[in-house]
Structure 1
Amino acid sequence: MTPTRLSVICWGGFIALAVVVSILSWPVIVWIAAIGLFAGIALVDGVLVRKKPDIRLSRNVRHSLPVTAWSRIELHLYNQGRSAQKIAVCDQIPADFSYRRMPVDLILSSGQHAAVTYRVYPTRRGRFTLPGVDIAVTSPFYLWRKKWFFPCEEEVRVFPNFRQISRYILLALSHQLNRMGIREIRHKGQGGEFHQLRDYRQGDELSRIDWKATSRMGRLISREFQTERDQQLIFLLDCGRRMRHVESGRTFFDQALNAMLLLAHVAMRQGDAAGVFTFGGHDRWIPPAKREDAIRKLLEHTFDLYATTKAADFVAAASKVMALQRRRALVVFLTNSRAEDQDDVLHGATLLARRHLVVIADLRESILDRTLDSPIDKVDSALRYLALQDYLNQRSALQRNLTRRGIQALDVTAGRLPSALVNRYLDIKNSGRL
């Protein structure tokens, strides 16, 4: 229980009154009577506020929230007591949540219901608990305030944001995927498996015309093909310490996870199945699936993952995937390697390439590109440029070694990763290499 601002002002006034009484030689009994009366009121007021208010409380919140997006939470309060209550309501919000419109001051009459709405902005993925609500009650004479805790425990799960997937769907519907950097390289009627016969359309290749059907129907008939379906896509997601690097306020791991979910969505729309194996501190295996809830299954198994402080073992991860995934698949490595990792990356990818088609997406720090473009006007900048060129040459050597072994390599920044992955996947589907 703490005194309110009014209480502090009143006590300050009595101190000032004591000074006035002493200066003007007023009878001290006046000051004693006044302070005694106020102390009695304050005592009664304090006793009244010590009783916990009879307030029924509930919370309305979605149990799955998107990270880095505003979400609404609603508190419902009902005063079951006989007297009105002047209260300040503050939900106990996790430290990783930003929030607006909280705390809220209310006056609840007897039998009155009130709804309090506020917004939260989770900055991290994972599981979080909202344990309850703090309600500070002001005494009837506004001299005291006592805080009470009302338990109302709810668990919420913060998932990766779906904005990239939603944007992909909207742009795909309007044939504007180039705005995401994704090339619409496939056109209906090109490549893949035979789907059906249809009337000839202007622009169809002559090689697509079915002459037997044309002679039988008396008009030009074209063969229509569709992308091969029922293939499998496996992600190897590096959770090791290299993925802790932060760019644009997000770690490499978070950006790789978002790109992975986007490509998984694209693959499932193409009729393929997607699965994940995580390594580097978190060893999880989600077998490939393409059911309607497959994306949700991926989310539920990866939303609470973060980059660890452990080193990633590429060879061990490749060996486990070889044992778990017997059917040929497109395997996408998502990692951030250094020179000392190159032998392990090469060995692990070569092991996988015995059975699978392998793509390694090796994230590159964007500061490297900016440094290359900066002017060289001092000895320090020249040395930095040479060291950077040596590092990039090592990365290029790894790319060449991978290519010679039939392994596809992507050396991209995190910002370009989503479009680069989708484009490479569509290239592979279009070529029929899988």
Structure 2
Amino acid sequence: MIVPRTRLLFWFALITLPLSLVGAMASSALLSLAGTLAFILLAIVDATLSFGALRGIRVELPDTIRFSKNREGAIEVTVTHSGAANRNMRVGLALPTAFQSPHEDLTTMLPHDQQQVRLIWPCLPQKRGQFRLETCYLETPSPLGLWAWRDSVPVSSELRVYPDLSRERNNLAALFLNRGSFGVHAQRQIGKGREFEKLREYMPGDSFEDIHWKATAKRGRPITKVFQIERTQEVYVLVDTSRLSARPARPLESAADQPEPTETILERFITAAMILGLAAQKQGDLFGVAAFGSQMHTFVRAKTGKMHYGACRDALYRLEPERGNPDFDELCSFLRLRLRRRALLIVLTNLDDPVLSENFIKNINLIHRQHLVLVNMLRPPAAHPLFSNSNVSSVGDLYRELGGHLLWRDLQELEYALQHRGVNFSLLSDEKMCVDLVSQYIGVKRRQLL
């Protein structure tokens, strides 16, 4: 597509207007007409020469570009041309609405002695998820600069925006520094371990329950079983993507000061799952993830390694909340069939709905004997005991505090019901969520609960 430039309009006004005034006189009419036609002919010739100006130009972008939410990034654009002559070019990208950029377009020179030009396009992603770049717009001026030839070039690039883990990394700096494993080596391991290592002859002080009676009968002397502490365990993080996870995650202290928070509960769950993955990788454990809602969405079996962590991260960053309720029956049945080895299951869900909590208690019986289950949810802003808030100045505040007390009491009853089944239940604050989850995980390893 060809469009007029400002230079064409400027020269048209500068030439034709004086000539039209001169042409008002009968003696100069022919001269005025000739000058106008000459300018029009010049513009037509310039437009004709600009046809095919973008022919042979290719635009290439990386197949996959990774970003962190609310952190500045850049897109590398490579423009390849035939190098016939020097030319100026404007490049524009159709960025998704979730991206902000200080530039609407970039201008570059295509030199004749260099066939490739690289442009760096700064941008700031403001939403987590998967996006695509499919169109790039090009514009180059005509030889005289009176016209501009525009064209769109198809491109294919996937933009992946992951949660920003910098704040949580700072809170857990000791874990991610290569100076030990979060103090685990400085802590005494409790228990003798559960994983069989070898057989040896009986020594004074060995427990009778450790005697291997078959080997004793075969050899004719007492033989003892030796166990070692499990170093490699399976850890799964189960993320709830149902309708309650779409609610805003507001800190307790600033719930009233932030009427429109930018992060949802699901965002915090995903961040916590990725942090737990890093912690498990540092500890040498096998890490896996699962996402569930009205049905099972994602399941990545526990493994280890950087490539596997990347697979877990790619499975998490695209999750979006849905409108339905979680199906705990399908979740527990799925885990019962898929997970044969005893594992640590860290469930991130929302159980402040009485119907959902009752359903969860009924279905957790399928897996709580086989696996170690830790249930965690963000503390609702109003869930606290009565008389714990001194800022009550109206009848409305009184009713709100009473409702918060009833919710807190229901959550306490839920905790007692789960503890009776051997399931730990915790209410976490938004600021310390990742720290508390990692502490739970480290505590399980130290106490050899698996």
Aligned identity (percent) is: 21
What is the aligned counterpart of 2:156 among 153, 168, 176?
153
What is the aligned counterpart of 2:356 among 333, 338, 341?
341
TM-score normalised over the length of structure 1:
0.79
What is the aligned counterpart of 1:94 among 88, 93, 96?
96
- Judged with a 3 Å threshold, the aligned counterparts in structure 2 of structure 1 residues 250 and 176 are, in CA distance, closer, same or farther, namely farther
Q: In the alignment, what sits opposite 2:238?
A: 236
Post-superposition offset of 1:135: 0.9
- Judged with a 3 Å threshold, the aligned counterparts in structure 2 of structure 1 residues 393 and 93 are, in CA distance, closer, same or farther, namely same
Structure ranking higher in helix proportion: 1
- Deviating more after overlay: 164-173 vs 340-349: 164-173
Post-superposition offset of 1:65: 0.5
Distance (whole Å) between structure 2 residues aligned to residue 409 and residue 186 of structure 1: 27
Q: In the alignment, what sits opposite 2:328?
A: 314
- Judged with a 3 Å threshold, the aligned counterparts in structure 2 of structure 1 residues 226 and 411 are, in CA distance, closer, same or farther, namely farther
Q: What SS class does the counterpart of residue 52 from structure 2 fall into? A: coil
Contact 1:192 1:430 in 2 (8 A): no
- Judged with a 3 Å threshold, the aligned counterparts in structure 2 of structure 1 residues 245 and 297 are, in CA distance, closer, same or farther, namely same
- Judged with a 3 Å threshold, the aligned counterparts in structure 2 of structure 1 residues 82 and 284 are, in CA distance, closer, same or farther, namely closer
Distance (whole Å) between structure 1 residues aligned to residue 191 and residue 167 of structure 2: 27
Give unmatched runs, 5+ long, in structure 2.
194-226, 250-260
Post-superposition offset of 1:112: 3.5
What is the aligned counterpart of 2:134 among 116, 131, 134?
131
Post-superposition offset of 1:360: 0.7
**Is 1:288 matched up with 2:291?**
no
Instruction: Write the mapping of 1:322-337 to structure 2, written as runs, cut at 5 A.
Output: 322-337=336-351
Q: What SS class does the counterpart of residue 246 from structure 1 fall into? A: coil
Q: In the alignment, what sits opposite 1:415?
A: 431
What is the aligned counterpart of 1:254 among 257, 262, 267?
267
**Is 1:383 matched up with 2:399?**
yes
Q: What SS class does the counterpart of residue 415 from structure 1 fall into? A: coil
- State the Cα deviation string for residues 173-211 of structure 1 (Å, max 9, x = none): 66999xxxx9858724443558xxxxxxxxxxxxxxxxx
- How big is the alpha-carbon RMSD for the aligned residues of Structure 1 and Structure 2? 3.4
Contact 1:66 1:162 in 2 (8 A): no
Q: What SS class does the counterpart of residue 101 from structure 2 fall into? A: strand
Q: What SS class does the counterpart of residue 186 from structure 2 fall into? A: coil
- Deviating more after overlay: 352-361 vs 77-86: 77-86
Contact 1:359 1:409 in 2 (8 A): yes
Distance (whole Å) between structure 1 residues aligned to residue 420 and residue 407 of structure 2: 20
Contact 1:280 1:310 in 2 (8 A): yes
Post-superposition offset of 1:253: 1.3
- State the Cα deviation string for residues 58-115 of structure 1 (Å, max 9, x = none): 5353725033133332223344253332211123333333234451112324334432
Post-superposition offset of 1:345: 2.1
**Is 1:271 matched up with 2:272?**
no
Q: In the alignment, what sits opposite 2:205?
A: none
Contact 1:7 1:143 in 2 (8 A): yes
Q: What SS class does the counterpart of residue 336 from structure 2 fall into? A: helix
Distance (whole Å) between structure 1 residues aligned to residue 347 and residue 64 of structure 2: 31
Distance (whole Å) between structure 2 residues aligned to residue 10 and residue 112 of structure 1: 33
- Judged with a 3 Å threshold, the aligned counterparts in structure 2 of structure 1 residues 33 and 327 are, in CA distance, closer, same or farther, namely same
Q: What SS class does the counterpart of residue 293 from structure 1 fall into? A: helix
Distance (whole Å) between structure 1 residues aligned to residue 411 and residue 266 of structure 2: 20
Q: In the alignment, what sits opposite 1:396?
A: 412
Contact 2:16 2:36 in 1 (8 A): no
Give unmatched runs, 5+ long, in structure 1.
195-224
- Deviating more after overlay: 283-292 vs 10-19: 10-19
Distance (whole Å) between structure 2 residues aligned to residue 57 and residue 375 of structure 1: 65
Distance (whole Å) between structure 2 residues aligned to residue 152 and residue 38 of structure 1: 39
Contact 2:238 2:345 in 1 (8 A): yes
- Judged with a 3 Å threshold, the aligned counterparts in structure 2 of structure 1 residues 141 and 291 are, in CA distance, closer, same or farther, namely closer
Q: What SS class does the counterpart of residue 288 from structure 2 fall into? A: strand
- State the Cα deviation string for residues 370-400 of structure 1 (Å, max 9, x = none): x985832223233223223222322222222
Residue identity opposite 1:356 in structure 2: H
Residue identity opposite 1:2 in structure 2: V
